[in-house]
């Protein structure tokens, strides 16, 4: 079932169009990646998906209704958005942060705080201060908050950024499990070509335009990647090696 859909969406920060007539969908239980060079439109697309920005043309649908037609609480029940920078300075404990996700549920949580922390591998950390967590653990805590929120779509802006390779793969496997076991659609931006090769589908964008979409094998061809990232011919063997290494690590780290 489609949970998020862009239908001929256009958006501009100025008179010149940036996002141009973009159409795609994300289905229940899918892990979909959004890739492209810096400034290509990834964060803007995620903000449009979250309803933080409104398209000048076209429509963003969530649950078959325009995202702009929902009030704040209604939208929060459908979509959970996490920006790239999670720099909350308040001295919250992990359990307090996660419990905040229950705001749109009005007392009936999709998961208890304990269940959410267990799902993300942070059981026993409920009373730990956020400042005492590692970068990877902190991202897991925020994801636990979205699980309590009960949204059917997770919108994640660069969730793997600034994480070492172990935490990248831990978080990848966590998101994959959430998608498969809970039927949540995960739509995330990322840069790493090897990691992108392991997702269900990819959208490749450049200068606000959708260049390619489909399974990773059809999107991450050397020709398409060289064109989108303006690379020279010598980079092809590096990309192939990067994809192979990431696949091997994913298999080795599977339960």
Q: What is the pLDDT of residue 58?
A: 96
pLDDT at 255: 45
pTM for the full predicted model: 0.86
Taking the C-alpha atoms of residue 63 and residue 45, their distance in angstroms, rounded to an integer, is 18
CA of 20: how far to CAs of 77, 175, 205, 209, in Å? 28, 29, 11, 6
103: its two tokens: 């705001």
Q: Which of 8, 1, 31 is nearest to 174 (CA)?
A: 31
Full DSSP string of 63-76: TTEEGGGS-HHHHH
Cβ pair 180, 152 in contact under 8 A: no
Angle at CA of residue 81, ends 79 and 84, nearest 5°: 165
Q: Residue 162: how many CA atoms within 13 Å on its side-chain side?
A: 13
pLDDT along the chain (255 residues), means of 10: 88 84 94 94 95 94 91 87 78 91 74 87 93 86 87 91 80 89 93 90 94 93 87 60 54 49
List the domains of the chain with CATH numbers.
2-84+151-253 (3.40.50.300)
Q: What is the pLDDT of residue 52?
A: 93
Helices 236-253, 165-182: axis angle to 10 degrees equals: 60
């Amino acid at each position: 079932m489609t949970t998020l859909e862009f239908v001929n969406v256009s958006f501009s920060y100025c008179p010149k169009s940036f996002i141009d007539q973009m159409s795609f969908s994300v289905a229940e239980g899918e892990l979909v990646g959004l890739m492209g060079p810096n400034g290509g439109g990834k964060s803007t697309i995620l903000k449009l998906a979250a309803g933080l920005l409104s398209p000048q043309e076209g429509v963003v649908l969530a649950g078959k209704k325009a995202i702009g037609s929902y009030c704040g609480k209604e939208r929060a029940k459908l979509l959970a958005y996490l920006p790239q920078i999670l720099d909350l300075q308040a001295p919250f404990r992990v359990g307090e942060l996660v419990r905040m996700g229950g705001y749109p549920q009005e007392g009936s949580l999709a998961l208890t705080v304990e269940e959410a922390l267990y799902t993300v591998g942070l059981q026993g950390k409920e009373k730990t201060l956020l400042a005492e967590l590692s970068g990877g653990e902190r991202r897991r805590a925020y994801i636990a908050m979205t699980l309590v929120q009960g949204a059917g779509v997770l919108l994640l802006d660069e969730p793997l950024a600034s994480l070492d390779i172990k935490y990248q793969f831990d978080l990848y496997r966590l998101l994959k499990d959430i998608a498969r076991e809970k039927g949540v659609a995960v739509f995330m931006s990322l840069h790493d070509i090897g990691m992108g090769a392991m997702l269900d589908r990819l959208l490749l964008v450049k200068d606000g335009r959708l260049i390619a979409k489909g399974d990773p094998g059809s999107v991450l061809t050397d020709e398409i990647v060289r064109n989108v990232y303006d690379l020279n011919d010598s980079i092809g063997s590096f990309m192939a090696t990067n994809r192979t290494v990431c696949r091997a690590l994913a298999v080795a780290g599977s339960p």
